[in-house]
Structure 1
Amino acid sequence: GDGLRRAWFSEVTKEMGDRDFGLFSTAGEQTLQPNPNSAAYQSDHLAHFALLGRIAGLALYHQEPLDLPFSPAFLYVAFGYDIAFDDLATFAPDVYSSLKKLLAMSADELETMCLNFEALVYEDSSKRRRATELKPGGADEPVTVANVKEYLRLYARHRLLGAIEPQVRAFRAGLGVFFKEEILSNLRTCCSVAEIQLLLCGAAAIDVDDWKGSTLYDPPEYERSSTVTWLWKAVREMTLEERAQLLFFATGSTRPPATGFAHLMGYSGENLPSEQPFTVTRAAAAGRLPTASTCFNQLYLPEF
């Protein structure tokens, strides 16, 4: 059922997104970026990334968010956006500001920089930096006024993709099970990376007003009961983590959809995904603990 699938999503992604598992490292604002050294943690790391790609595709198909805060930079390359130098302004602004100065330099100034088509890569195993070519023969090709734009484009590609290209390819292979290139191309055309991040990862915050305003009650008059009043008072006083736990208890997911609580998905007897509103139902036995039916986004709340 839908609730079991969402709970499975939550448990699997929680384990695979754990830093100790080694597939990801933490990027800016506590988002997840593939760990370039993931092979040192999991011998079958690429199979894990392929599985994550499949899970991401399945979650998008069912319009259900994953509790995996992927970094925008990872989603940018994973969904196949063309990489340009100006992309560094978004994903690595300090690096962008520094490298952009090369465009204003004269031929003599560039020559004094002694730059070749190389970049330094930090190796976790040796704790040292080594030079890697940005293109074949790059170590022997100096950066000049004529080729500086090519250098910047290749450097941006290296910065966003170079060290994690095997992981990205594996993720995309898994994603491709559900989303062929034609669909991904349309998605890139109509959606920004931020919008894809929101669709895939859901909203990090839980808006109580939106949640309450999108809730149905069974019977309808239960909305006016003291018990329901106490429920929403308690939810407002909860921390974000506690709200997420309550949402998980009732729906199997810790995050609401990107488009809000009015678009919670659930089981309606059809094979295709369909909206299933969050519903608070008066339980028959008063005084007992609340229960839930996650497939139907239903909270059974006894009167107290």
Structure 2
Amino acid sequence: LTARRSHLFEDAYATISGMSDEDLNKRLVVSFRDEEGVDAGGLSREFFLLASHRIADRQLALFEPASNGELQIDPNSSVHSEDTVDMFTFVGRIVGLALANDKLLDVVFAPAIYKMLLGDKPGLEDLAEVEPELYRSFSYMLNNPAGDLLDDFTFSVTQAHFDSHETVDLIPNGRNISVTEANKAEYVDLRTQWAVVEKVAIQAAALVQGFNEVVPHALVEGLDWRDLKILLTGTPVISPIRWRIHTEYTGYTSTSDTIRHFWQTVQSWDHANRAKLLCFVTGTSRLPAGGFDALAGVGETEKFHIAKGQGNGLPTSHTCHNVLILPPYPTAKMLKEKLEYAINETAGFGEA
């Protein structure tokens, strides 16, 4: 896969959408047009990072943030593009390729999406992210005599569509069938499935199809959605203490002034800057499930490594080997300024 950074998503869409089953089952090798670097793991890690950011882009109108910030399928996505089905199939392939190539995505989906990818049925708990107030009403309804509350419900739902409203029956003639104590559990289940699954059924089916074209269902059967989430997104927690414990050095020792200044800087940063540093050196802003001890290298795990550079230029990195080339800056202030410039203003890999 060769892509322009300025058109990464479009180039990836053209290439990956046209891949055969045989190609989808090969290791994905990435290059960025007009850039040096051979992909031994670092470039593909960055590709999945950048692709996942585009997937989450609201301008693309495929997903929207749930109440907790996790991504759920935008129910209006079908009206934004004639290529909606193909686009969701492509996203499914991206997710499948990330899993198959042991790469992380820098995007977290709502649990219902992981469940659908595994062929599992979303439940009432998934309604909490889609319609929080209705979730609270249903939870109360199921656990208490609902009384007059049931008078407001029939086996139907009113769906807004721009300036009009449409009544959708959850069962035949549902709009004329009242919800009672006897049938309230059935109603809650049907209404939940409509909100979480049926409302986005076309998009979800395409997403799952693309995923299964890369990762057949048999390979993930029996996997819990939480396990799939961890495999795809790793862990967002970046502990400076554990980072330091799992770091090796060349040309420095753990007590060198430059190294002390480096860890003082990392300790002073917020999560966003730590994630940028991790991405600058490893190609991904999230840690694998095994933490720093499980960072991916070339064919095996490789620890985070700081090697001594020359002069006072900007830090550089070898992302395929998780190596930061850090010059021996004379002051902590200079180190902090150079490092912050590098992680915030540079893109691309001179040496992958």
Amino acid at match of 1:296: H
1:24 and 1:38 in contact (8 A); partners too: yes
Distance 1:286-1:95 versus aligned 2 partners, 3 A rule: same
Larger relative contact order, structure 1 or 2 (CA cutoff 8 Å, min sep 6): 1
Name the structure 2 match of 1:295.
Answer: 320
Partners of 1:4 and 1:252 within 8 A in 2: yes
> In 2, Cα distance between the equivalents of 1:30 and 1:277?
31
Aligned pair 1:239/2:270, yes or no? yes
User: What is the RMSD computed on CA atoms of the aligned residues?
Assistant: 2.6
The alignment-based identity, stated in percent, is 30
Quote the Cα distance in structure 2 between the aligned partners of 1:71 and 1:296. 32
Report 1:107-256 matches (<5 A).
113=151, 115-123=153-161, 125-126=162-163, 128-187=164-223, 191=224, 193-219=225-251, 221-256=252-287
Using structure 2 for the length normalisation, give the TM-score.
Answer: 0.73
Distance in 1 (CA, whole Å) between partners of 2:125 and 2:67 is: 19
Is there any run of 5+ residues in structure 2 with no aligned partner, and where? 1-38, 330-352
> Which whole-Å CA distance do the structure 2 matches of 1:51 and 1:185 have between them?
22
Q: Which 10-residue stretch deviates more, 201-210 or 128-137?
A: 128-137
Cα distance change on mapping 1:11 and 1:101 into 2, 3 Å: closer
Equivalent in the alignment of 1:43: 82
Tell whether the 8 Å contact from 1:19 to 1:25 is kept in structure 2 after alignment. Answer: yes
Q: What letter matches 1:233 in structure 2?
A: Q
Contact 1:65–1:258 under 8 Å retained in 2: no
Q: Which amino acid aligns with 1:303?
A: P
1:271 maps to which residue? Answer: none
- The answer to whether 1:260 aligns with 2:271 is no
Letter in 1 for 2:184: V
Task: Please state whether the residue corresponding to 2:221 is helix, strand or coil.
Answer: helix
81-90 or 157-166: which moved more? 81-90
- Partner residue of 2:24? none
Q: 2:73 aligns with which of 31, 34, 45?
A: 34
Query: What SS class does the counterpart of residue 288 from structure 2 fall into?
Result: coil
**TM-score, structure 1 normalization:** 0.84
Contact 1:31/1:70 (8 A) holds in 2:
yes
Q: How much does 1:11 deviate?
A: 1.8
* Separation (CA, whole Å) in 1 of partners of 2:149 and 2:137: 17
Structure 1 residues 59-98: aligned runs within 5 Å: 59-85=98-124, 88=127, 94-98=133-137
Please state whether the residue corresponding to 1:261 is helix, strand or coil.
Answer: helix
Q: Which amino acid aligns with 2:48?
A: F
Distance 1:172 1:92 in 2: 23
SS of 2:324's equivalent in the other structure is strand
Question: What is the letter of the counterpart of residue 293 of structure 1?
Answer: H
Q: Distance in 1 between matches of 2:320 and 2:44?
A: 9
Matched residue pairs, number? 289
What is the CA deviation profile of residues 122-171 of structure 1, one whole-angstrom value per residue up to 9, with x for unaligned ones?
Answer: 32x32x44321223443344434543332221112112112111111111
Distance in 2 between residues matched to 1:71 and 1:51, nearest whole Å: 19
Which amino acid is the alignment partner of residue 216 of structure 2?
Answer: K
Q: Please give the alpha-carbon distance, in whole angstroms, between the structure 2 residues aligned to 1:9 and 1:87.
A: 26
1:250 is displaced (CA, Å) by: 0.9
Counterpart amino acid of 2:302? Q
Amino acid at match of 2:301: E
8 A Cα contact 1:74 1:160, kept in partner:
no
- Unaligned 5+ runs, structure 1: 269-273
* 1:59-100 Cα distance to aligned partner (Å, 9 max, x none): 223333211121223323333222344654687564234224
